[in-house]
Chain A
Amino acid sequence: MEFRSQASVALRVNGRPREVVVDTRTTLLDLLREHLDLTGAKKGCNFGECGACTVHLNGRRVNGCMVLAASVEGGEVTTIEGLAENGELHPVQQAFIDHDAFQCGFCTPGQVMSAVALLREGHARCPAEIREWKSGNLCRCASYPQIVSAVAAAASNARGG
């Protein structure tokens, strides 16, 4: 077993293969922001508590600040920059606009990434469930009611309702 303080990490980010050499102390969040110029994910607390750094890793929503980049070798990461396809907003992004679900916007990328995953998980069956399963995303502007409305609307649209 090889132990290194610098590692070459090969991963897919938003569908593209990337390879970066990083100090092994680098988190996935810092790899995205500092090494790949993907600054959509935000460093809110750098402690796993605010959710502003929420990204998708191998299909699951995680806090980018809680993952060592070195351990993402061979993994698949989706960031907020990878949501819109062919210039068209993702339905959740559109719902956030339609329902006025952000003020300063700092928590918003993490909120949207978290919401997209939450819908995929099937945890948007009612506002209470949305609130509980979005509890890992804090909003200091307190846009919570509008965020819940946006997620509920996106869930309803996805169901064809």
Chain B
Amino acid sequence: MQRFAYGCAANVGEALVEGGAPDTVFLAGGTELLNWLRLGIAKPARIIDISRLDGLIGVTRLPDGGLRIGALTRLNDVALDEHVSRDYPVLSEAILKSASAQLRNLATIGGNPLQKTRCGYFRAEDTLPRTAYLA
């Protein structure tokens, strides 16, 4: 894993300002990023930990009857939320079929759409560095 500089964002504003710098990525649940780092397909110079930012976690009912789901809400918390499981059961069931309980306790709903396809052949134009196998 290439060395990186790690920082923890105190608030959304700070995260956005610092996130605009080159070679900088965000860390939320980390369930994708850590594997990309180990594979060598991500080599950021800086990692901004946004996992503790306020105001981005939780499921709340909206006046029109919909739901607002904070991007940093962990997958298990989204799936097991009473509003989600009662009113949007497909979302709940789809989440609960994903990964594992341990990963769903880390992974965030906002990070989930940012997954890279897992198949190594699909990513073949980014060849895996040989050292990934020797690690």
Instruction: Identify whether the interface residues of B are mostly helix, strand, loop, or mixed.
Output: mixed
The smallest beta-carbon distance between A37 and chain B, in angstroms, is 22
Contact status A63-B102, CB under 8 Å: yes
Contact status B27-A61, CB under 8 Å: no
Contacts A24-B4, A47-B35, A48-B34 hold; do A1 and B48 have CB atoms under 8 A apart? yes
| Residue B53 is within 8 A (CB to CB) of chain A in the complex | no
Contacts A23-B3, A68-B34, A70-B49 hold; do A1 and B18 have CB atoms under 8 A apart? yes
Stretch at the interface among A3-11, A83-91, A95-103, A143-151: A3-11
Contacts A3-B5, A51-B100, A136-B100 hold; do A68 and B30 have CB atoms under 8 A apart? yes
User: Please, which residues of chain A bring their CB within 8 A of the CB of B66?
Assistant: none
| Residue A94 is within 8 A (CB to CB) of chain B in the complex | no
| B window 77-91: CB within 8 A of A | none
User: Please, which residues of chain B bring their CB within 8 A of the CB of A78?
Assistant: none
| B window 27-60: CB within 8 A of A | 27, 30-31, 34-35, 37-38, 46-49, 51
Interface contact tally, CB-CB below 8 A = 94
Within 8 Å by CB of A54, from B30, B35, B102, lies B102
Most A CB contacts (10 A, CB to CB) among B7, B46, B49, B102 go to B102
Contact status B9-A1, CB under 8 Å: yes
User: Please, which residues of chain B bring their CB within 8 A of the CB of A121?
Assistant: 101
Contact status B100-A1, CB under 8 Å: no
| Residue B71 is within 8 A (CB to CB) of chain A in the complex | no
The smallest beta-carbon distance between A149 and chain B, in angstroms, is 19
Within 8 Å by CB of A5, from B6, B27, B30, lies B6
**Chain B, residue nearest A110 (CB):** B102
Contact status B48-A24, CB under 8 Å: no
| Residue A80 is within 8 A (CB to CB) of chain B in the complex | no
| Residue B106 is within 8 A (CB to CB) of chain A in the complex | yes
Within 8 Å by CB of B30, from A1, A4, A71, A123, lies A71
Contacts A1-B48, A25-B37, A67-B106 hold; do A73 and B100 have CB atoms under 8 A apart? no
The smallest beta-carbon distance between B31 and chain A, in angstroms, is 5
Within 8 Å by CB of B3, from A25, A73, A134, lies A25
**Chain B, residue nearest A50 (CB):** B100
Contact status A63-B106, CB under 8 Å: yes
Contacts A68-B27, A70-B49, A136-B100 hold; do A61 and B8 have CB atoms under 8 A apart? no
Complex: A61 Cα to B74 Cα, angstroms:
13
Contact status B102-A136, CB under 8 Å: yes
B-binding residues in A (CB < 8 A)? 1-5, 7, 23-25, 27, 46-48, 51, 54, 60-63, 65-68, 70-71, 73, 114, 117-118, 121, 123, 133-137
A-binding residues in B (CB < 8 A)? 1, 3-10, 14, 18, 27, 30-31, 34-35, 37-38, 46-49, 51, 99-103, 105-106
